[in-house]
Chains A and B, each alone.
Chain A
Amino acid sequence: MGIIEIMFLALFGVVGLIAIYVIFTYNGFVTLSNQVNNAWSQIDVQLRRRYDLIPNLVNTVKGYAKHEKETFENVTKARAQMATAIDSGNVKDKAAANNMLTGALKSLFAVAENYPELKANENFKMLQEELSGTESKIAYARQFYNDNVMAFNNKVQYFPSNIIASMLGFKAREYFEIEEAAKGPVKVEF
């Protein structure tokens, strides 16, 4: 075999290896990206669920605490903002609306503390459990989403997969941020 043939073979080998690497990396990006989307839809489901529960809650509380107009207005406003955010599909809008709604609901439940009869109402108790359950589901879905975003973004930023990411148009995804104050009970962060 002459020197030319050997060089050709080496060239083919290198090109082949690069092609295999690109294929694997591309598929890895697709998998991770799908995981992020799936995690995102989990958040969406829970945000909608909470959105749907609110009218029922407001009506129940109104039956006992008519005078807390300001609190009701805040909840209604936050819910309306959530409606816009759900339609826009934007991560930042949704995170902001979510934080606002969490705060408004917190003050609504704080108000409810002053009405013993309301607190004894079965329907209210059920709604309270549902809403706090949904709230922790939102928190868990957010955590799962952010973990997946981190895995995806790491791959987008690490060398050498970052070259392929920029060639094929994979961009870092946005985290679902939460305000410190809205985090509720102090939980250990890792």
Chain B
Amino acid sequence: MALLYDEIKWNKRKSLAITAFFVLFVLVVCFVFAEALGFFYGTETLGFALFPILMLVAIGSTFVSYYYSDKMVLAISGARPAEKGEFPHLVNTVEGLSIAAGIPLPKIYVIDDPAPNAFATGRDPEHSAIAVTTGLLKTMGRYELEGVVGHEMAHIKNYDIRLATFAVVMVGFVALLSDFMFRIGLRPGIGGGGGRRSGGGGAAIVLIAIFFAILAPIFAQLVRLAISRNREYLADASGALLTRYPEGLASALEKIAKDSRKVEHATDATAPLYISNPFKGNLLSGLFSTHPPIEERVKRLRSM
């Protein structure tokens, strides 16, 4: 009982902490790069003036995807709207859980694919959609389907798509920064004569900057993946709070794990959205996956 509310609270705090850490990390990267540029060109203002511009580029490129991502994702995945006449049970289940969550009814889609899987998309509850594969409808019993839809509903209610977009912006920004440092910032010869080239303290900052330029993008990506995994646990827990029946989702996840078929239209870009990795086997374990291991999720659900 209390365990479930605790789990939700704990997961939310963890997401918040990771996000705050993420922002701090990006600021540190900016600072180090600006210092290194300062050493090279004799002025730190260059870096501090340049970074907001790079930030805008990162935001701009993600802005479009933020507003159109739901339509793009649905199109890429080959989803078609689910009519009530054809899928009455699915429509009823989604309607019921949107009542339970107290959010507007998301648009409902089906993907003609025998592999059982599902995802949710949309930037806020007013513009959200849930898509499930026909394989999911075939394999899952009533309570299992409720569990899966509850998980997706929780993603919508928790604004997970928004958080994921933020994380992608941050990763993109860091990648841009590092790229910039390598191509322009730290190239010897471009710097010109104005720099404070003498002194060992300055050389150290350049070394640190090079080190950061190599590792920061990888690290940012890892943080993004950590956020993604954390939100999966959160969606499992708050989804279970909607259905009041964690076992439904637990057994659905087990069925999905046992099924070895891949979702045909899933791509690298859409894979993180699915309730469970749509590519199956080829998971780089642990650190590099967007989803926590299913056994761990099932274990947590069963202990709620």
Secondary structure at chain A's binding surface: helix, strand, loop or mixed?
helix
A188→B143 CA distance, assembly (Å)? 12
Question: Out of A130, A133, A190, which one reaches B244, CB within 8 Å?
Answer: A190
CB of A117 within 8 Å of the partner chain:
no
Chain A, 110-160, CB within 8 A of any chain B CB: 126, 129-130, 132-134, 136-137, 139-141, 143-144
A189 at the interface (CB under 8 A from B): yes
CB pair A39–B102 under 8 Å, yes or no, is yes
Interface flags for A163-188 (1: CB within 8 Å of B; 0: not) read 00000000000000000000001011
Residue of A39, A126, A136, A139 with most partner-chain B CB within 10 A: A136
Q: Is A60 part of the contact surface with B, judged by Cβ < 8 Å? A: no
Residues of A within 8 A of B188 (CB): none
Which residue from chain B places its CB closest to the CB of A189 in the assembled complex?
B244
A43 CB to nearest B CB, Å: 9
B210 to chain A minimum Cβ distance, whole angstroms, is: 53
Choice from B88, B95, B97, B241 contacting A126 with Cβ under 8 Å: B88
Residue of B4, B99, B247 with most partner-chain A CB within 10 A: B99
Q: How far is the CA of A113 from the CA of B99 in the complex (A)?
A: 30
A136 near B102 with CB under 8 A, answer no
Number of residues in A with C-beta < 8 Å to the partner? 22
Q: Which of A35, A133, A188 contacts B92 (CB 8 A)?
A: A133
| B residues near A143, Cβ cutoff 8 Å | 100, 244
Is the beta-carbon distance between A133 and B96 smaller than 8 angstroms? yes
Asked if A25 CB lies within 8 Å of chain B CBs, one says no
The reply to whether A130 and B4 contact each other, CB–CB distance below 8 Å, is: no
Specify the chain B residue showing the minimal Cβ separation from A45: B99
Distance between Cα atoms of A130 and B89 in the complex (Å): 8
Q: Is B1 an interface residue (CB 8 A)?
A: yes
Judge if A42 is at the interface, Cβ distance under 8 Å.
yes
Contact A140 B241 (CB under 8 A): no
| Chain A proximity of B223: nearest CB distance (Å) | 32
A188–B99 CB distance below 8 A: no
Q: Complex formed: what's the CA distance from A140 to B247 in Å?
A: 17
**SS of B interface (majority):** helix
Q: Is B95 in contact with A137, judged by CB distance below 8 angstroms? A: yes
Check: B270 CB closer than 8 A to any chain A CB. no
Chain B residues lying within 8 Å of A132, measured Cβ to Cβ, are 92
Which residues of the other chain, B, contact A187 by a CB distance below 8 angstroms? 244-245
- How far apart are the CA atoms of A97 and B7 in the complex, in Å? 37
1/0 contact string of B286-304 vs chain A (CB within 8 Å):
0000000000000000001
* Mask: chain B, 109-123; 1 = CB below 8 Å from A; 0 = not: 000000000000000
| Interface: B135 (CB within 8 A) | no
Give chain A residues whose Cβ lies under 8 Å from the Cβ of B102: 35, 39, 144
Cβ-neighbour of A133 out of B95, B241, B242 (below 8 A): B95
B245 and A136 form a contact (CB under 8 A): no
Are the CB atoms of A129 and B100 closer together than 8 Å? no
Chain B residue with Cβ nearest A133: B92
- Docked Cα-Cα span, A133 to B94, in Å, equals 10
- Contact at B241–A137, with CB atoms within 8 Å? no
Q: Once the chains bind, are B4 and A190 in contact (CB under 8 Å)?
A: yes
Interface residues of chain A, those whose CB is within 8 Å of chain B, are 35, 39, 42, 46, 126, 129-130, 132-134, 136-137, 139-141, 143-144, 185, 187-190
B residues with a Cβ closer than 8 A to A are 1, 4-5, 88-89, 92-93, 95-97, 99-102, 143, 146, 241-242, 244-247, 304
Given contacts A137-B92, A137-B95, A141-B100, list 20 more A-B pairs with CB under 8 A: A35-B102, A46-B99, A129-B92, A130-B92, A132-B92, A133-B89, A133-B92, A134-B92, A136-B96, A136-B146, A140-B97, A140-B242, A144-B100, A185-B143, A187-B245, A188-B246, A188-B247, A190-B1, A190-B5, A190-B244
The 9 closest A-B pairs by CB, nearest first: A133-B92, A140-B100, A137-B96, A140-B99, A140-B96, A190-B1, A136-B96, A187-B245, A129-B88
